Amino acid sequence: MKFILLIALVLSSYSHASVKAIYGEDDRLEYSEVSLEYKRLGDATGAMIAKSKLSLQGTSYYFSTKTLGEEMMGNQFRNGYLCSDEAFHSQQTLSTCSGFLVSSNRLLTAGHCITGKKACSNYLWSFGLSESKMREGKIHRDSVYSCKRVIKRSSGKRDYALIELDRSVVGVTPLRISKKSLKKGEKLFTIGHPSNLPLKFAMNGRVEEISGESFKTNLDTFAGNSGSPVLLTKSREVVGILVRGSLDYVKDLSRGCFVANRCERVRSNADCMGESVFNLEYLK
């Protein structure tokens, strides 16, 4: 993953610490496509939004943003653009990072999402920001939260930030952090904002490799998923924070436009090294 901006790469330049990819079939689902149990987990998953993208008018924050196709045109790709038949091409983009509630007024995200002296004050948070909500072009001010303070932040191997919001998020159940030790092969899913899109659920992942304070998965994630909760399919408990991964997009040479990087399996080539997750067993 990169620090949450959409990737600006050409075919010959793949290496970047914060990009991601698709493994096998694209398993991403909309909020409207999942069960009520999963929806409740999505309601506790936050979108980190730059204040500059929102305009408070009366009781709502209004926004006018580019679609994914528009966002990835021009300076996002050198000499290229996103193929028009790519998934979510016409959906709006808004967020920068993802995060998730661990109490009524505290959330976890990736540490590299919260950098600089104004990282707390320059961003707002909204939860359960689905595609249908994005279509409205506004968010009620009661559903927008500011960062009161960064309680703790770490980068590098322990890539996380714990944030206190300005007030409690009412009517939402925070996610539970697992207390068990992770095992290779366990099934996983994640929730967040790939490519800064509305909320998506990436299903059917698994633990591929455990190495010290991180582990790798084959979840279908992209830049914008930084800070997403990674949960055990069986218990619905959080075991990690998504922080980086393989290349997001590659050029389709036959058409001249860019498509999602598809990996048949983790480590199949240099651009498919798996999605890296900070293991919450090491949260301190």
- Bridge partners, residue 16, by sequence: none
Can 112 be counted among the known catalytic residues? yes
| Those residues with Cβ within 8 angstroms of residue 272's Cβ, 6 or more apart along the chain or in another chain | 21, 23, 246, 247, 261, 263, 264, 265, 266
Can 211 be counted among the known catalytic residues? no
Residue 221 to residue 191: CA distance in whole angstroms: 9
Q: Are 19 and 246 in contact (CB under 8 A)?
A: yes
Sorted by where each begins, the domain ranges of the chain are 1-284
Token pair belonging to 154: 């770490």
* pTM (two decimals): 0.89
Q: Which of 18, 226, 246, 276 is catalytic?
A: 226
Q: Which fold has domain 1-284?
A: Thrombin, subunit H (2.40.10)
Can 16 be counted among the known catalytic residues? no
List per-residue pLDDT tens for the chain, 284 residues long.
Answer: 433 333 333 332 222 234 556 787 788 999 999 999 999 999 999 999 999 999 999 999 999 889 999 988 855 566 679 999 999 999 999 999 999 999 999 999 999 999 887 889 999 999 999 999 999 999 999 999 999 999 999 988 899 999 999 999 999 999 999 999 999 999 999 999 999 999 999 999 999 999 989 999 999 999 899 999 999 999 999 999 999 877 788 888 899 899 988 886 444 455 677 789 999 999 97
Nearest to 93 by CA among 70, 73, 76, 74: 70
pLDDT of residue 264: 65
Render pLDDT for 160-208 as a digit per residue (tens, 0 to 9): 999 999 999 999 999 999 999 999 999 999 999 999 999 999 999 999 9
Q: Which of 18, 95, 112, 126 is catalytic?
A: 112
Q: Which of 43, 159, 220, 248 is catalytic?
A: 159
